[in-house]
Structure 1
Amino acid sequence: MARPGRDRSLIRRLVTPEGVPLHLNLASAGARASAFIIDMLLIAAILIALTCLALFGFYLIGNKYPGIVLVIWLIGFFLLRNFYFIWFESGRRAATWGKRRMGLRVIARDGGQLTGAAVVARNMMREVEVFLPLMFLGFGAAEGFVDRWTMIAGFGWACLFLFLPVFNRDRLRAGDLIAGTWVVENARRDLGIDLVAQTGRSADAAGFSQAELEVYGQYELQRLEAVLREGNAEAITTVADVIRGKLNRWDPIGDRAFLDAYYAQTRAHFERGLLMGRRKRDKFDTSA
């Protein structure tokens, strides 16, 4: 559901492989740009720290190899700008430090698990989009073998890809188009205690085993909460059928009572796990 003042044009309906419809808020172009700036500032800070260490090492050995500073910047910047993004987006949070700061994460547009191949593809495209043309122009201008029109063309190429998210409705980079990914808002919120109170007797309408309560994670539970709050009969029936099929149980109670019971008992199970330091973020999280 859209928050007050939310741009409704950024709301997308995604159907998971289990057939569960989800409504997601795409990240705005401004939020994505802010996250990228934060990440680049962090990368620059790491490079500066490495350079300072190298300079200190040169001082100790008598400053015999000053050219190594340029090598550190070239190799270090290449490794950081690629593997920094790939490393963090391949994790459970699917987000770099900048994205976490802005409350964003990367997901697969088909509703499935975000694969390593998709993460690598979307981030390696950034080389073609931005870094290679800008580095070529920078070194070319410094060495004097790039003329004015080549610089204008290269700068236009970089700007075209930089501002691509502004000119498409899904706010996609070229890397997102190739990898089949979205960048969405990852708003954090506590599990709804008031919703559990509203379930009343429905919370005891069915009993679930520990294995059944651990099928899904906190992310799916929050989506189930959204379905119950919205109260759409069709969505409730669809979600109930999916969960019944996943658990292989077909209780004779109504779909709403079934979901109320599953929600209440799963939330209680997760809260007990949190007290012991265990958190299952989503159905793909096996660390818990």
Structure 2
Amino acid sequence: MRWPFGPRRARAAGPDALRRTFITPEGVDLRLELGATGARIAAFALDVALILVILVVATLVIGWAAIATRSELLVILWLIGAFMLRNGWFVLFEMSGRGATPGKRAMGLRVVARDGARLTAGAVIARNALREIELFLPLSFLAAQTAQGTADAFLALFALAWSGIFLFFPLFNRDRLRAGDLVAGTWVIHAPGGKLAADIGPAPDRARRHFSDAALALYGVYELQTLEDVLRGGRPSAVATVAATIRRKANIADDGDDLGFLTDYYLALCARLESGLLVGRRRQNKFGN
């Protein structure tokens, strides 16, 4: 794993400043673009806003029920639910095939493993557990002390300084890593929005290829994201490498049209995974996990 801190070098100008080497299991370098700091802040703000909306609605409902029943148990359940919501929101969404919360998806961002492998549950939990220490716990403690009237200036400054250090941490390393990203071995990358299947398709004068169930069973949601990145990148060498890998694994003859082959395979895999989702099956990767 490459250490993101090192001797300062002249920063690359233009869009290449955030480009990083990202080698897939097929040996393809996707040259991914890291998410900009502003986009990440906006994504986090949007997620927090959505969480707050849910909490406000839950507070009104549970508060009314607690007053009506005079039950302290409901208050305890609210506290547990609020803790689980603010942590589960990020963990569950980032563990999905998209690797992104609603805020990240709105800003065109996605979480990936820096080593090119599949994003694991352990990595997602680690990067988000650090957020609890970085931000939520100190600010929650400060808010509780303020509500009780026991907070002083030193405590307020300490809590704000603690959170501020971690908040601005991505500005002081070239890979824009949070402390959680550093521990978990993850990147937050720019992933263009919109469904690629709606943008591409066979030309009117070209028939689509058909694939067997065995050929389509080679890949899951994670690999679908890799195919999407390769097709969006449009690099002939990457397209050729991935197409050759799929042909070899599926025992399909080479017809000389790598881009057409990969496009048709992507569309067929999209249709298969979506139909599987409709009947309650979700295949996260080629191992069936």
Which range, TM-score by smaller chain?
0.7 to 0.9
Q: Which of 163, 169, 177 does residue 174 from structure 2 map onto?
A: 169
Question: CA 1:266–1:239 in structure 2 vs 1: closer, same or farther (change >3 Å)?
Answer: closer
1:269 matched to which residue of 2?
268
Q: Which of 221, 226, 229 does residue 227 from structure 2 map onto?
A: 221
Question: CA 1:35–1:193 in structure 2 vs 1: closer, same or farther (change >3 Å)?
Answer: closer
Looking at structure 2, the residues matched to 125 and 224 of structure 1 have their Cα atoms a distance apart, in angstroms, of 32
Q: What residue identity is the alignment partner of 1:262?
A: F
What displacement does 1:213 show? 4.7
2:4 matched to which residue of 1?
none
Secondary structure in structure 1 of the residue aligned to 2:21:
strand
Q: How do 1:136-285 and structure 2 match up within 5 A?
A: 136-143=141-148, 145-187=150-192, 188-191=194-197, 193=200, 197=203, 209-216=212-219, 218-226=224-232, 229-232=234-237, 235=238, 238-239=241-242, 242-247=245-250, 257=256, 259-260=258-259, 262-267=261-266, 269-270=268-269, 273=272, 284=285
Looking at structure 2, the residues matched to 68 and 275 of structure 1 have their Cα atoms a distance apart, in angstroms, of 41
Unaligned residue ranges in structure 2 (runs of 5+): 1-12
What displacement does 1:168 show? 2.1
What displacement does 1:52 show? 1.3
What displacement does 1:58 show? 3.8
Number of residue-to-residue matches in the alignment: 269
Q: Normalising to structure 1: TM-score of the pair?
A: 0.75
Question: CA 1:141–1:238 in structure 2 vs 1: closer, same or farther (change >3 Å)?
Answer: same
Looking at structure 2, the residues matched to 213 and 23 of structure 1 have their Cα atoms a distance apart, in angstroms, of 26
Sequence identity (%): 39
Question: CA 1:223–1:88 in structure 2 vs 1: closer, same or farther (change >3 Å)?
Answer: closer
1:127 matched to which residue of 2?
132
Aligned-residue CA RMSD (Å): 3.8
Q: Normalising to structure 2: TM-score of the pair?
A: 0.75
Can you list the C-alpha shifts for 1:189-245, whole angstroms capped at 9, x where unaligned? 535648x659989x99xx965533553454343344346x4335xx46644554454
Question: CA 1:264–1:139 in structure 2 vs 1: closer, same or farther (change >3 Å)?
Answer: closer
